[in-house]
Amino acid sequence: MTFPDYFPYTHRPGQAELVRLVRDCVHDGRHLVLEAGTGTGKTVTALCAALEGTANSGRKVIFLTRTKSQQRQIALEARAIADRADVVCIAIQGRGPATCPMMQNDRELASGTSEELSKLCATLKKGGSEAGTCTFFDNLDDAAVEACISFVRSSHPDPEEFREFCSVRGICPYEAAKRVLPYANVVSAPYPFFFIPGIRTHFLEWMGIGERDAVVIMDEAHNLPNYLRDIQTYRTTQRALDMTMKEADENGDPEIYEGLTVKDIVTLMEDVLRDAQAEFLRRENDLIPPGYLTEEMMTRLGMTTYGIRDMLMSMYAAGEAVADEKKRRRKLPRSHILTLARFLLAWISCEDGSHVYLVAGGENPSLEAYCLDASDAADPLLSCHSTVSMSGTLRPLDVYVKELGLYDPVTDSRPSPFPPENLKVGYVRDVSTKYDELNGGEDTYERLKRYVIDLVGCVHRSTAVFFPSYSLMDRFIADGVPGMLGREVYYEKSGMPQSELMEQMTDFKCSEGAVLFAVTGGRVSEGLDFPGKELELAILVGIPYARPSAKQDALIHYCQGRYGSGWDMAVKVPAVRKMRQAIGRLIRSETDRGVAVILDRRAADLAGIDAEYMEDPVASVRDFFGHN
């Protein structure tokens, strides 16, 4: 069998084999799990290979991404390939201020979830109600759709360019992208388009294919297991209950079942939450028995499970009525009653072995059904013709395969093509961030501070200090460490709005020799590029093990029981992936050079980090950069 050759650049060493590997897996309908670091050209390689492997088959490539910049990258590579291949590539994004001009200047609408916005959008598109219509949709006539299709075919726009094209014509970019989907053979989309069941059904319908004709490529796949657990986790909080109570008051407290009203259920939930804290909560979060909430409802209401389900369905309907009324007034169709009903229905339906049930305290106590098993939500991947999971930090690959439940995959790991001598990774032996050590009588904390101050001061290079938690970073800040560094310091703080974070990063990148305080596993260490001299020294303060908690213990226990590897799968592997992501910020091209110093003796035992012992890390760093 001969395949077309779509690769648009001169191959770097190893790239031709990588294209062949991906192409053969795609053609043969296999699952491929691939670790390939920065510099291997993952995006262009996977795109070319998938197009070659699907040529003349009627199959389509779905490229799932976590960030808009990845979608842009895919569009740029599609443009490069277009001279050689019949490629029609479109990016689709969820409804939001960037894709729905209706909500651009409306703060309330801009805060809506995609489901809420989708409801309002459906009403406006239908028209004929008091809510009126959406002119951006009305303007999308056949001629406008034709213009969009031609534009995508001829220009291979990135998401921003497509939005601009739509904006000039006064049409809705979200709806326009949907209308182009049937003509595209490459579609980039955020994860929810494929992994949220209701959205996936529509998405594939719009594309005009079934799952078996889809070739799904997942970039940054190391995040996928956690994402899949998250989308199957259900939570309600005291604040959510407060808002539900308020909404019930404002809407005449609807009766939902034989004299019971919404406020009765909210009061019951507040009591259950309070009692669960009193009975079970000893730590930050703690387990409650699987049937606890359902049994409490049955006992307190004197109802059977069938009755409770009926009552919750009726509460759901009451919530929908509230949302519909808002929709009628062209407001965001949000209902806290609906959200609470949905939480309770999900909770009583998932009382199985793949969830644990937790109560948490603090300022905003909560009840949570936490999903331990990522594989249920990964199921649709098994129905696809082929899938490619790739990341620079996916090892150990067998752990990823087990977590997703992939059947008979091909696994491969490609080394970085950059000169190995450009990166030095070391660790020290006399400190660690183990809880007892950090908070005990020893002077570990003082030594950690000293290391950071001395390392930052030993060379004038842009430096990131990655902390294992915001609380340790805050402790450094409270103790005045930034002021002792003699450099400009920038921060990635907990809960910082994205725009503020980006401002900090722009300033940091422009200030050679500046220092950045960030968190290992945070937005900076997982998603931002620092090429060239923008980052040359990384100091990792400790190992970013998840904090011990009932939730973490449950995950360890589950992985031990199901896969025979609890601590490694639930704790060690995620920590190593986070550290490798942080260290990976240093080397983004073959001319980049950098040093990472891990301030924790436990780094010696972490497979995949490959750190060497540094007896004198300051001397090692100075030596690396050629300072005497």
Using CB under 6 A, list all residues that contact ligand SF4.
95, 100-102, 121, 124-125, 134, 136-137, 172, 174-175
Q: How near is the Cβ of 89 to ligand SF4 at its closest, in Å?
A: 21
Helices (H), 350-494: 375-383, 397-404, 435-439, 444-458, 470-478, 481-484
When the beta carbons of 94 and 392 are compared against ligand SF4, the nearer one is 94
Q: Which residues contact 129 (CB under 8 A, 6 or more apart)?
A: 123, 328
- Closer CB to ligand SF4, 117 or 599, in the complex: 117
Q: How far is the CB of 130 from ligand SF4 (least distance, A)?
A: 16
22 or 102, CB closer to ligand SF4?
Answer: 102
The least distance separating ligand SF4 from the CB of residue 103, rounded to whole angstroms, comes to 6
117/431 with CB nearer ligand SF4: 117
Question: Is the Cβ of residue 95 or residue 572 nearer to ligand SF4 in the bound state?
Answer: 95
Check residue 285 and report its DSSP letter. E
Least Cβ distance, residue 177 to ligand SF4 (angstroms): 10
Find the angle CA(400)-CA(404)-CA(409) to the nearest 5 degrees. Answer: 70
Cβ proximity to ligand SF4: between 106 and 211 the closer is 106
Nearer to ligand SF4, 121 or 459 (CB): 121
CA–CA gap between residue 94 and residue 66 (Å, rounded): 12
CA distance 315 to 335: 11
Encoded tokens for 169? 């014509």
CA distance 85 to 80: 10
Q: Which is nearer to ligand SF4, 52 or 175 (CB)?
A: 175
Residue 412: which of 32, 63, 39 has the closest Cα?
32
Contact 522, 547 (CB under 8 A): no
Which conformational region is residue 404 in: left (phi greater than 0), alpha (psi within -120 to 50 degrees), or beta?
alpha
The span from the CA of 439 to the CA of 76, in Å, is 50
Minimum Å distance from CB 104 to ligand SF4?
A: 9
Alpha carbons within 13 A on the beta-carbon side of 542? 25
Nearest approach, Cβ of 189 to ligand SF4 (angstroms)?
16
Minimum separation from the CB atom of position 313 to ligand SF4 (A): 29
Strand locations in 80-156 (E): 89-91
- Tell me the C-alpha distance between 156 and 378, whole Å: 30
Pairing of strands 410-414, 31-36: parallel
CB of 44 to ligand SF4, least distance (A): 31
Of 102 and 431, nearer to ligand SF4 (C-beta) is: 102
Q: Cα separation of 442 and 434, whole Å?
A: 12
Q: Smallest distance, Å, CB 122 to ligand SF4?
A: 8
State how far the alpha carbon of 621 is from the alpha carbons of 132, 408, 449, 618, in Å: 65, 44, 17, 5
439 C-beta neighbours (distance < 10 Å), count = 10
CA dihedral 334, 335, 336, 339 (to 10 degrees): -90
Distance of CA 128 to the CA centre of its chain: 39
Nearer to ligand SF4, 7 or 137 (CB): 137
Shortest distance in whole angstroms from residue 134 CB to ligand SF4:
3
Q: Provide, rounded to whole angstroms, the least separation between the CB of residue 117 and ligand SF4.
A: 7
* Of 100 and 541, CB closest to ligand SF4: 100
Cα end-to-end distance, the chain, whole Å: 59
From the CB of 137, what's the least distance to ligand SF4, in Å?
4
Say whether the peptide bond before residue 497 is cis (omega within 30 degrees of 0): no
Instruction: Output the smallest distance, CB 328 to ligand SF4, in A.
Output: 15
Q: Which is nearer to ligand SF4, 174 or 357 (CB)?
A: 174
What does the buried/exposed string (b/e) look like for 443-456 if buried means 16 or more CB atoms within 10 Å of the residue's CB?
ebbeebbebbeebb
Report, in Å, the least distance between residue 404 CB and ligand SF4: 32
Q: Given the complex with ligand SF4, which of 167 and 261 has the nearer CB atom?
A: 167
Query: Please, which residue, 92 or 554, has the CB nearer to ligand SF4?
Result: 92
In angstroms, the Cα distances linking 559 to 67, 354, 552, 554 are: 29, 11, 11, 9
Concatenated DSSP letters of 100-122: -GGGTT-HHHHT--HHHHHHHHH
Q: Which residue has the tokens 């409650």?
A: 288
Contact predicate 584/420, CB 8 Å: no
> Which amino acid does the sequence have at 137?
F
Q: Do residues 322 and 387 make contact, with C-beta atoms less than 8 angstroms apart?
A: no
